[in-house]
């Protein structure tokens, strides 16, 4: 019996060691990639880490993907019989001339299997020498016998000639250098399921029930301030220094405001609360015909639901209001932002003696505005919260935005400016099921159906 236990323990140790060595070898292989010198940003997708976390999640909760598979559903990008070698870490590249396209390269294990998979899809396929071409709504790819270069296009209708030029360069190895020798070498040490490195850095982790993100790759944030969520569909707190991030000049409705002028008058934080919905009246213009068949303008008042917003800007209120009026942002009596500047809905403005300029979608809301602007975390604390479920129930979101946010429940961010003036932002996006991995929920919701 003791001998059997020793043998079992030895086998388990060898299996563990062998598995560890296998995945370590996959990691080393994945970093032996060439990076285009012209890339402005690089995305690292930790494939092995994502798969491991998803599988671990499925041990503890039923998988929507498994249930769909039992009903005959399929997910193309989860299939293994497509003839491609999937690395431990997948690297994607973005070029300045195609900012909405991600490029990548994969090794082909079986070109016949890949071609069979492509022909099963609703994609245009053109076999040629030296590179065959694949085109779909969001995918353009060129492949040889041993490699495929692909482009994921966020917006359909990208110029194929420019995209194909980058794809040929990736396959031919033009203007490339090893990852370890490039300015993106730090990606090798970055943790997280997805890391973006370029002008700015971003890290994403797909956890059970939520997607966590941060701008500096540091991982989880400190505790989020729960008191700012109470009774609010949304809450936003902007420190004064956030206004320095806006363009030097901002135009809307033919009127212009200067960033430097705004910062001269804004002395503290800006807070905005979204407390349910309110009703505003719009004028709809239609045309009828008189007895002589001449078009006659007919105006009709229509009630519509809009977010009940209450905001406060800590500022030199008198001079800020005067500046905004002089620039044509506020109307003559300083009581409303002009419709041509902000056409979504009416925003009324008020001033108080406590150096705060208030604005709201609710007319005559002075009493309700009194508590706005308290915020949390001091003047340098950035915070945002949005309850998507509540906003959807209110029926105030544009249809396209509502569809885009449908898989999510809430979005929450917080940020602090460090001593070197760098802003560190952490956030999370929660999904309906807290027990299921967030990536699995995104797949199940259809949010990733645009992927090939």
128-137 tens-digit pLDDT: 888 999 998 8
Asked which of 17-21, 47-51, 230-234, 334-338 is least confident by mean pLDDT, the reply is 17-21
pLDDT in tens, 378-433: 556 788 999 999 999 998 888 888 888 999 999 999 888 776 667 788 999 999 98
The C-alpha angle 259, 261, 262, rounded to 5 degrees, equals 65
- The pLDDT of residue 199 is 85
pLDDT tens track for 247-289: 899 888 888 999 999 889 988 888 899 998 888 887 777 777 7
Is residue 71's pLDDT more than 50? no
d(Cα 93, Cα 196) in Å, to the nearest integer?
Answer: 10
Residue range 220-238: mean pLDDT, rounded = 72
Q: Model confidence over 138-166: pLDDT tens digits?
A: 889 999 999 999 999 887 666 777 888 99
Alpha carbon distance 402, 36 (integer Å): 37
Residue 12: the pLDDT is 76
Whole-angstrom distance, CA of residue 132 vs CA of residue 124: 11
Q: Is the confidence at residue 221, as pLDDT, over 90?
A: no
Q: What is the pLDDT of residue 177?
A: 92
Contact 107, 420 (CB under 8 A): no
**CA–CA dist 127, 108 (Å, integer):** 16
pLDDT above 50 (res 72) = no
Tell me which residue of 195, 174, 189 sits closest to 92, measured CA to CA.
195
Distances (CA, A) of 196 to 24, 424, 437: 22, 15, 21
pLDDT of residue 64: 57
Q: Which residues contact 79 (CB under 8 A, 6 or more apart)?
A: 117
pLDDT at 62: 60
Are 74 and 65 within 8 A, CB to CB?
no
State yes or no: pLDDT of 90 exceeds 80.
yes
- 217 pLDDT higher than 60: no
The percent of residues above 90 in pLDDT, for the chain, comes to 27
Q: How many CB atoms lie within 10 A of CB 138?
A: 16
Task: Give the chain as a 3 state SS string.
Answer: CHHHHHHHHHHHHHHHHHHHHHHHHHHHHHHCCEEECCEEEEEEEEHHHHHHHHHHHHHHCCCHHHHHHHCCCCCHHHCCCCCEECCCEEEEEEECCEEEEEEEEEEECCHHHHHHHHHHCCCEEECCCCCEEEECCCEEEEECCCEEEEEEECCCCCCHHHHHHHHHHHHHCCCEEEHHHCCCHHHHHCCCCEEEECCCEEEEEEEECEEEEECCCCCCCCCCCHHHCCCCCEEEEECHHHHHHCCCEEEECCEEEEHHHHHHHEEEEEEEEEEEEEEEEEEEEEEEECCCCCEEEEEEEEEEEEEEEEEEEEECHHHHHHHHHHCCCECCCCCEECCCCCCCCCCEEEECCCCEEEEECCCCCHHHHCCCCCCCCCCCEEEEEEEHHHHHHHCCCCHHHHHHHCCCCEEEEEEEECCCCCEEEEEEEECCCCCCEHHHHHHHHCCCCCCC
So what's the pLDDT on residue 388? 94
Token pair in block for residue 257: 């405001």
Lowest-confidence pick of 60-74, 224-238, 426-440: 60-74
Least Cα distance to 275 among 357, 190, 369 occurs for 369
pLDDT attached to residue 47: 92
pLDDT tens profile 278-322: 888 877 777 777 777 777 777 777 788 889 999 888 888 888 888
Tokens (6 digits) for 353: 């003696």
Between CA 175 and CA 35 the distance in angstroms is: 9
Q: pLDDT-based confidence at 74, cuts 50/70/90?
A: very low
How does residue 61 score in pLDDT terms, banded at 50, 70 and 90? low
d(CA 417, CA 338): 33
Q: Is the pLDDT of residue 88 over 50?
A: yes
Cα–Cα distance for residue pair 252/249, rounded to 1 Å = 10
Task: Work out the mean pLDDT of the chain and round it to a whole number.
Answer: 83
Is the CB of residue 138 less than 8 Å from the CB of residue 156? yes
What is the residue extent of each domain of the chain?
29-194, 210-430
């Amino acid at each position: 019996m003791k001998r059997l236990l020793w043998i079992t323990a030895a086998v388990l140790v060898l299996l563990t060691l062998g598995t560890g060595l296998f995945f370590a070898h996959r990691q080393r292989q994945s970093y032996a990639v060439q990076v285009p010198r012209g890339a402005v940003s690089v995305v690292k997708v930790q494939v092995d880490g994502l798969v491991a976390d998803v599988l671990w999640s499925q041990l503890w909760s039923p998988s929507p993907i498994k249930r769909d598979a039992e009903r005959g559903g399929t997910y193309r990008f989860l299939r293994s019989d497509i003839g491609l070698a999937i690395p431990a870490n997948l690297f994607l590249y973005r070029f300045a001339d195609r900012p909405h396209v991600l490029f990548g390269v994969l090794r082909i294990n079986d070109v016949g299997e890949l071609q069979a998979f492509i022909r099963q899809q609703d994609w245009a396929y053109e076999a040629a020498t030296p590179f065959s071409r694949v085109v779909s709504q969001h995918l353009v790819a060129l492949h040889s016998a041993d490699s495929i270069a692909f482009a994921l296009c966020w917006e359909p209708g990208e110029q194929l000639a420019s995209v194909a030029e980058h794809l040929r360069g990736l396959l031919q190895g033009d203007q490339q250098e090893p990852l370890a020798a490039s300015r993106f070498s730090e990606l090798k040490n970055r943790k997280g399921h997805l890391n973006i490195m370029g002008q700015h850095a971003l890290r994403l982790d797909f956890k059970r029930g939520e997607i966590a993100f941060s701008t500096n790759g540091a991982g989880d944030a400190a505790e989020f301030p729960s008191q700012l969520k109470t009774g609010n569909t949304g809450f936003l707190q902007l420190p004064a220094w956030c206004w320095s991030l806006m363009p030097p000049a901002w135009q809307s409705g033919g009127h212009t405001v200067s960033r430097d002028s705004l910062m001269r008058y804004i002395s503290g934080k800006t807070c905005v609360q979204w407390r349910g919905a309110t009703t505003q009246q719009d004028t709809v213009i239609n045309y009828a015909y008189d007895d002589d068949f001449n078009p006659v303008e007919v105006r009709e008042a229509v009630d519509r639901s809009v977010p009940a917003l209450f905001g406060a800007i800590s500022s030199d209120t008198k001079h800020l209001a005067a500046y905004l009026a002089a620039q044509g942002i506020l109307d003559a009596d300083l009581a409303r932002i002009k419709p041509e500047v902000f056409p979504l809905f009416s925003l009324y403005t008020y001033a108080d003696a406590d150096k705060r300029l208030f604005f709201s979608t609710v007319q005559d809301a002075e009493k309700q505005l009194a508590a706005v602007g308290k915020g949390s975390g001091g003047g340098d604390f950035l915070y945002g919260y949005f309850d998507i479920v509540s906003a959807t129930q209110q029926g105030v979101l544009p249809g396209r935005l509502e569809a885009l946010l449908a898989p999510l429940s809430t979005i929450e961010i917080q940020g602090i400016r460090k001593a070197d003036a760098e802003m560190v932002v952490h956030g999370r996006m929660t999904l309906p099921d807290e027990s299921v991995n967030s990536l699995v929920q995104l797949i199940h919701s259809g949010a990733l159906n645009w992927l090939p």
